[in-house]
Amino acid sequence: MSDVDLSVYIKEIKFPNPVLPASGTFGFGEEFSDIYDLNILGGIVTKSLRLNYHPGNPQPRLYEVPCGLLNSIGIPSEGYEYFKDHYLPFLNKLSIPKVISIAGNTIGEYIELIKYLNKDTGIDIVELNVSCPNLEEQGRTFDSDKDALTKVVKEVLASSKYPVIVKLSPNVDSILANAKLVERLGADGVVIANTLLGMAIDINKRRPVFKNIFAGLSGPCVKAQILRLVWEVAEEVKIPIIASGGISTFEDAVEFLLAGATLLQVGTANFFNLYAMPEIIDGIREYLDKNNVSDIKQIVGLARKEKML
């Protein structure tokens, strides 16, 4: 094993390496713990937790497209009480940072959930999912409107004893404007980005495949677009950027680091390759070693600088 330093930080929280699962692709970790030791990861990001039980969407929930996956899962959740009794004890056994993703349909739901989480131990960071329909605003997502985004981020930041990172959707007028806004409000990092909206039509039924018509597109097919967004956001935002969008190989991961991401989330790749994250971590380490880089932080944003390493 080489002695390359892969550690990165969000505030004072140290991640042993930058590779995390994307929320919703890793459950609360238990399933993958039957496959490999989760402590080799940079950290864990849970499935979005809701205050109360929510069943999620009816079928169909998945539709495969070339090099990608459309999903309309609907953020099912067992709710906080179940999380506390069943998932938290498992998470607490892990030595890596625990990022709890939270979702809600009203600001009140987010805040009540935060208040419960504040009492728990072992959690390191809250990831705020603001791509949920805001039921107080005709079901538009929280981040589709500057005022709604401001309000939810402000209130969550004021309530949370943990650092808060905000996962932004690319399906807005300007994800850069939203990233700058949440930075100004005091967020500790931005996740770029949630899934891109897409759709599919069943040509035999002559109807959209999904009941909600649009669905979230993820996988290798979105990588180039999300890389561009990370590049743009990194130009103007100084808080850590957590890149999420089609990262499937160590080469993808290195591209996002070079574009300016500090941390990386691997999502859909976990589905088609159970060892995607361990392979990506090993690949990054070997890449750095081969290029005589002793500290991963040296390559963050390097592609935007004139001087080559």
Give residues in contact with other proteins (CB under 8 A).
24-27, 31-32, 34-35, 47, 55-56, 58-64, 66-69, 71, 73, 76, 219-221, 248, 268, 270-275
CB closer to other proteins out of 248 and 265: 248
In the set 114, 123, 126, 132, the catalytic residue is: 132
Residue 15 CB neighbours (<10 A):
24
As a whole number of angstroms, the distance between CA 88 and CA 79 comes to 12
Residue 178 CB neighbours (<10 A):
26
Residue 65 phi/psi, 5° resolution? -125, 170
CB closer to other proteins out of 28 and 80: 28
* Angle between the N-to-C axes of helices 276-290 and 250-259, in degrees from 0 to 180, rounded to the nearest 10: 60
Residue 49 CB, nearest approach to other proteins (Å) = 13
β-sheet bridge partners, residue 302 = none
β-sheet bridge partners, residue 129 = 167
CB closer to other proteins out of 178 and 265: 265
Q: Around 274, how many Cα atoms within 13 Å sit in the side-chain half-sphere?
A: 8
In the three-class reduction of DSSP (H, G, I as helix; E, B as strand; rest coil), residue 167 is classed as strand
- Centroid of chain to Cα 33: 19
Residue 26 CB, nearest approach to other proteins (Å) = 6
CB closer to other proteins out of 65 and 303: 65
Helices (H), 129-239: 146-159, 175-185, 223-236
CB closer to other proteins out of 56 and 122: 56
Residue 223 CB, nearest approach to other proteins (Å) = 10
As a whole number of angstroms, the distance between CA 207 and CA 222 comes to 24
Residue 195 CB, nearest approach to other proteins (Å) = 13
Q: What tokens appear for 248 in the block?
A: 């499937």
Q: Which of 245, 188, 197, 200 is nearest to 221 (CA)?
A: 245
CB closer to other proteins out of 216 and 240: 216
As a whole number of angstroms, the distance between CA 245 and CA 67 comes to 12
Catalytic residue status for 132: yes
- Which residue type, as a one-letter code, is found at position 132? C
CB closer to other proteins out of 31 and 202: 31
Which residues fall within 8 angstroms of residue 295, CB to CB, at 6 or more apart? Answer: 4, 5
Residue 276 CB, nearest approach to other proteins (Å) = 10
As a whole number of angstroms, the distance between CA 160 and CA 246 comes to 30
Q: What tokens appear for 235 in the block?
A: 């130009």
**Residues taking part in catalysis:** 132
